[in-house]
Amino acid sequence: MRFVRSLRVLAASILAASVLVSASGASAGSWPSRTIKLIVPFPPGGAADTVARVYADKLSEALKQPVVIENKAGAGTAIAAEAVAAAEPDGYTLSLAPAGQLTILPHINKEIRYDPFKSFVPVSNLATVPYVLAASPDTPVSNIKELVAAANKDPGKLTYSSCGPGTLCHLSGELFQSQTGVKLLHVPFKGSAPAVNALLGNVVNLSFDTLTVLAPQIRDGKVKGLLVTSRERSPQLPDVPTATEAGVSDFVVDSWFGLVAPAGTPAEIVQRLNGEIVRIGALSDVRDRLEAQGLLVTTSTPEGFADIIKADHARWGKVIKDSHVEVF
């Protein structure tokens, strides 16, 4: 009797285990069965929001479930990152991750409650946009050679605006100084709009910002484009040289936007998402919509995106350390 009872217990245990395995498999296999939330760490409008909505619309069609945008701005994108890091890793919470959130903020804000490598699983890069160095209308320089000469004549006299301390706008200026040996005075603003307005009004001499922000001002002749930080000239600004053409080596700066999920999200869900993202990025209407904003589609494998995060984290960490950017 004891033997029979033991067999029954063993059979029940095996059945229970098989039910759990089956349920787990069904859960992963049935994804998605409800609305997916895509968190964007900025207010509506702007390049990041545009990228998120373009991909979200196409993902909704592909997955047969709504992909809704939740704008969660604040604390230099940390609020959104912390919310995603704490979310259930079930494939129903995703995040648009800008470069600064994973590669810069961890170096300059020791109060954040997420780890760029341990809190998220990379899905794919989505799009990138290069930076532009522009000069104000009255600044007597028209190219990098003249800029370097003027800066060397009066070190620290020429000013440059940025969209905020510790941003890529700011660190692009720091990297430019280290690559050229010039000394500029940084004038930070709270966002791109006031930084560009200061440039237009000749309050500052120079400004570093994205192609999306500065290209319209350059095309309209309101400011002077000195270089773009991409490897090749931008179709948006065909007359503006690359940094290499202008004589500044190793000054390629891309602001990217990627897709991440909470750490622990099942690998099969990550792979499904990646496959759809890569397919969507190849669509001509998606490329046209993003390129109209100065953005270049740059989808990747999860592993490729992880490599980008790791490399940029190390690169900007060094710039921050070498330029003594203050931690806040």
115-142: per-residue pLDDT in tens? 999 999 999 999 999 999 999 999 999 9
On the question of pLDDT at 155 being above 90, the answer is yes
Query: Distances in Å between the alpha carbon of 317 and those of 26, 108, 118, 188, 310?
Result: 43, 9, 18, 19, 11
Pair 124, 159 in one domain: no
pLDDT at 25: 42
On the question of pLDDT at 27 being above 60, the answer is no
Last residue of a domain, one of 186, 212, 246: 246
| Higher pLDDT among residues 29 and 252, named by residue | 252
On the question of pLDDT at 7 being above 70, the answer is no
| Higher pLDDT among residues 328 and 310, named by residue | 310
> Is 45 part of a structural domain of the chain?
yes
On the question of pLDDT at 244 being above 90, the answer is yes
Residue 32 phi/psi, 5-degree rounding, is -95, 145
> Is 169 part of a structural domain of the chain?
yes
Pair 115, 134 in one domain: no
Element (H, E) at 122: strand 120-135
Element (H, E) at 129: strand 120-135
Pair 118, 261 in one domain: yes
- Structure tokens that stand for 301 in this block: 């494998």
Pair 239, 158 in one domain: yes
Element (H, E) at 153: helix 144-153
Pair 262, 241 in one domain: no
Pair 146, 211 in one domain: yes
Last residue of a domain, one of 190, 224, 246: 246
On the question of pLDDT at 24 being above 50, the answer is no
Pair 238, 259 in one domain: no
Give the Cα separation of 257 and 124 in Å (integer): 9
Pair 105, 136 in one domain: no
On the question of pLDDT at 22 being above 90, the answer is no
pLDDT at 191: 85
Give the Cα separation of 49 and 100 in Å (integer): 15
Total number of domains constituting the chain: 2
How many other β-carbons are positioned within 10 Å of the β-carbon of residue 149? 12
Residue environment code for 52-86, b if the CB has 16+ CB neighbours within 10 A, otherwise e: bbbbbebbbebbebebebebbeeebbbebbbbbbe
pLDDT at 29: 76
Percentage of residues in the chain having pLDDT higher than 70: 91
Pair 95, 64 in one domain: yes
CATH number at residue 100: 3.40.190.150
How many other β-carbons are positioned within 10 Å of the β-carbon of residue 148? 17
Pair 159, 242 in one domain: yes
CA 116 to chain CA centroid, Å, is 13
Average pLDDT, the chain: 90
Pair 271, 181 in one domain: no
User: Kindly report the CA angle at 204 between 200 and 205, in degrees rounded to 5?
Assistant: 90
Residue 188 makes CB contacts below 8 A (sequence gap 6+) with 161, 162, 163, 164, 165, 170, 195
End-to-end alpha-carbon separation of the chain, Å? 71
Last residue of a domain, one of 246, 271, 301: 246
Domain of residue 47 covers 35-128+255-323
On the question of pLDDT at 38 being above 50, the answer is yes
